[in-house]
Structure 1
Amino acid sequence: MKRVEVAVGVVKRGTQTYVTLRHQDQHQGGKWEFPGGKKELGESTFDALKRELAEEIGITVNGSEPLILIEHDYGDKHVVLDVHLVESFDGEPYGREMQQGKWLDIDSLAPGDFPAANVSIIEALHNQ
């Protein structure tokens, strides 16, 4: 089975987090997600976060801290999400890849609006 390692950034400002909408033609399209992407061979999670968040939402990550490690089996692939809290960044996030994005209050995050693998991230944020 294919194993996919992903660096995910929970970009947080106060009580809000920045989320983006997956394009309809993507796996789990039409659902909100925390930005991030696949780690490249030999790349650290922090380096992947810096690269992916610059590419996807136009911010410069200055620091991060681990939040949760999630393994999720979608049947066709096994996804490992290395989720980091990103509170130290420069710039204002926006959808650099033409995806919709918005700030949401952490208390208003609805698990049904996110891919199944993201539900544990929402729970971890609520338990902080």
Structure 2
Amino acid sequence: MMRGLEAALAEALSPSWTQRVRAGRDLASFADTPEAAATLVGLLLDVEDTAVTRRTAEALARVGTVNAIRLIALAVAAADDDQADWLQSGVHDALEGAGGAPDVAAACGKLARDPEEAVRRGVADISAWADGTRC
């Protein structure tokens, strides 16, 4: 398991956007791991390719844990308008895709009371994007 984490962390540094997209997907399941969390926020705010932002947000929303949604919220709070649009698209992709992302609402509810103001702000945006998913 740690070997997969190490490989994905290395791939996240690649100049290739396709490898960074793959790293975002692979790292999403490690959202609880501090090393992965910092890298995931970086991928969510990727300045070189919007596909990295969108697909990493989608992967984290599909994981749906409190820690995964917290990372999206932190990115939303730090994002410029363009990045926020792509984060929103990624969350929508997860919510609308096969199987959806049923845990997002529960995670949003828990994070609405997070002690960090940036997380609460980001979660408010995610909740507004959820189109009928009550957070």
Report TM bin, short chain. Answer: 0.3 to 0.5
Q: Which has the higher helix share?
A: 2
Give me the TM-score of the superposition, normalised by structure 1. Answer: 0.33
Give me the TM-score of the superposition, normalised by structure 2. Answer: 0.32
